[in-house]
């Protein structure tokens, strides 16, 4: 191991870097040449650029307004070297490496809340079910203004999240502002091991299920299969499913393959291509579609990236699902995490991935089959609408039950009550996905109910042809409504 020292001169640093560079190139060349079929010429070290680096390093050491130690300068140099490659390669220090591991496994010590930033404060998007935050009374919409004695104002979201995480059993005091309360509320929460659920599911309507994947973790494929089993039962079988990948930033590549495999019966899911032989991989689906071919709509938007795009691209190329929403983010690269010493790691872009038909979505994204923009729907006041039959004086009562005048459902003891928001008002894109599923099922049943008979042509003894019987379409008498 070479120890850094501030007493080294620029020429000594140059000698050290040259030594390290030559040994690194030698080992790199040997590893690549052993795997490659053809030997490539060795790269030459850019001596002039190394001299510039050492010169700048030496000038910073001597002239910067504050003294900077060698370790900090070298780590900053490494960070800069990686950050200029692409937006996704990075040098991970211990805390960042730990956060990456947490995001892929979905387990950490904390409170159990999904948060965002609003006006400089941490806003609770939702408390996760059966977590310390929910049990302590934290509610969606709460604005966290203080964590113990630390004011939140001025902190970044990552800094605030770091303060909320900690060892299981350790308490933290949240000071929150809540609508309807004139004074801040203090809530003590005892940290615990939080397991983030990457898969959430529920029934939209009878026969139509909804599954949302928030990110791709190592166990996402298994969780998805369990969700489908719970939705598709013998008593209440599914007629279609919506898979929501909106605002899903991606995650583990294998999890994306597992999710795609859940809905595919066979075929290529994704393949990768890079400079090193071990970066070229192909992933295929195993036999068995968990939905048995039922209609599937996948919702995507500009926040759907990486692993989300792998799933959408595979299902689109194989015509297994209809992709709906807006263009995806367009991240078509694969990052490999290489652990280093001292709990650090190198996250390096090593390959591009391609959809089964060979399309790269890098900087382009997945283009949905049906474009549906996010929209806000406002329910119109129908009180000035046309009269209906039920509004007419002396109208006949419905034989199946009592008739009801318009507005009766909205009134209770003489007072109008507000109706809950419809699905279209809450989530217009999901509303359109549900309508599409219904339309696909109607079309499927209509096609199945039509029997097409091919007329038989019987050849006579003399070789003549017997005409086929004409198809007769029977119609029922039509009653004409005289209402206008």
Which one is catalytic: 123, 197, 331, 347?
331
The yes-or-no answer on residue 306 being catalytic is: yes
Going by DSSP bridges, is the β-strand pair 208-213/240-244 parallel, antiparallel, or unpaired?
parallel
401: left (phi over 0), alpha (psi -120 to 50) or beta: left
Q: How far is CA 143 from the centre of its chain?
A: 25
| Measured distance CA(198)–CA(31) in Å, rounded | 38
CA–CA–CA angle 158, 161, 162 (5° rounding): 85
Which one is catalytic: 89, 198, 260, 306?
306
Burial class, 411, CB count within 10 angstroms (exposed 0-12 / middle 13-18 / buried 19+):
exposed
> Where do the DSSP E strands lie in 89-165?
90-92, 107-110, 113-118, 121-127, 143-147, 150-151
Sign of CA dihedral 15, 18, 21, 22: negative
| Measured distance CA(143)–CA(181) in Å, rounded | 12
Tokens of 203: 């029934």
Torsion of CA 10, 16, 20, 22, to 10 degrees: 90
- Closest alpha carbon to 333 in 285, 286, 275: 275
| Measured distance CA(128)–CA(189) in Å, rounded | 13
Burial class, 430, CB count within 10 angstroms (exposed 0-12 / middle 13-18 / buried 19+):
buried
The yes-or-no answer on residue 391 being catalytic is: no
The yes-or-no answer on residue 37 being catalytic is: no
- Closest alpha carbon to 188 in 230, 136, 124, 251: 136
SS3 per-residue string spanning 377-395:
CCCCCCCCCCCCHHHCCCC
Which one is catalytic: 223, 258, 317, 427?
317
The residues carrying an active-site annotation are 306, 317, 331
């Amino acid at each position: 191991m070479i120890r850094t020292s501030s007493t080294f001169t620029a020429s000594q640093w140059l000698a050290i870097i040259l030594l390290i560079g030559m040994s690194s190139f030698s080992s790199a060349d040997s590893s690549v040449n052993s795997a490659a079929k053809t030997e490539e010429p060795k790269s030459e070290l850019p001596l002039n650029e190394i001299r510039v680096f050492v010169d700048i390093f030496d000038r910073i050491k001597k002239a910067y307004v504050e003294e900077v130690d060698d370790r900090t300068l070298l780590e900053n140099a490494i960070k800069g070297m990686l950050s200029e490659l692409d937006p996704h390669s990075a040098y991970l220090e211990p805390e960042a490496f730990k956060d990456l591991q947490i995001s892929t496994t979905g387990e950490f010590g904390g409170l159990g809340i999904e948060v965002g930033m609003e006006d400089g404060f941490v806003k609770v998007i939702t408390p996760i079910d059966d977590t310390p935050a929910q049990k302590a009374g934290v509610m969606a919409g709460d604005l966290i203004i203080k964590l113990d004695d630390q004011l939140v104002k001025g902190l970044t979201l990552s800094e605030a999240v770091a303060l909320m995480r900690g060892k299981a059993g350790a308490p933290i005091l949240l000071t929150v502002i809540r609508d309807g309360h004139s004074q801040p509320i203090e809530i003590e929460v005892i940290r615990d091991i939080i397991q983030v659920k990457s898969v959430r599911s529920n029934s939209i309507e009878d026969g139509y299920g909804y599954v949302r994947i928030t990110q791709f973790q190592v166990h996402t494929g298994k969780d998805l299969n369990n969700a489908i089993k719970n939705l598709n039962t013998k008593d209440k079988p599914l007629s279609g499913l919506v898979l929501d990948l909106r605002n899903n930033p991606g995650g583990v590549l294998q999890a994306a393959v597992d999710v795609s495999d859940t809905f595919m019966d066979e075929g290529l899911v994704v393949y990768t291509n890079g400079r090193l032989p071990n970066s070229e991989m192909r992933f295929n689906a195993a036999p068995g579609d968990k939905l048995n071919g039922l209609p599937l709509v996948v919702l995507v938007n500009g926040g759907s990236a990486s692993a989300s795009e792998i799933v959408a691209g595979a299902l689109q190329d194989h015509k297994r699902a209809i992709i709906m929403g807006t263009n995806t983010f367009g991240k078509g690269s694969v990052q490999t995490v290489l652990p280093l010493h001292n709990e650090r790691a190198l996250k390096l872009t090593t390959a591009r991935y391609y959809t089964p038909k060979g399309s790269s979505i890098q900087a382009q994204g997945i283009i949905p089959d049906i474009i549906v923009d996010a929209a806000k729907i406002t329910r119109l006041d129908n009180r000035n609408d046309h009269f209906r039959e039920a509004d007419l004086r002396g109208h006949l009562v419905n034989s199946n039950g009592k008739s009801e005048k318009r507005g009766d459902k909205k009134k209770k003891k003489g007072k109008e009550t507000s109706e809950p928001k419809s699905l279209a008002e809450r989530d217009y894109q999901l509303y359109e996905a549900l309508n599409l599923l219904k339309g696909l099922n109607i079309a499927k049943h209509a096609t199945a109910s039509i029997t097409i008979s091919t007329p038989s042509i019987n050849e006579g003894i003399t070789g003549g042809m017997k005409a086929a019987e004409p198809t007769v379409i029977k119609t029922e008498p039509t009653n004409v409504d005289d209402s206008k």
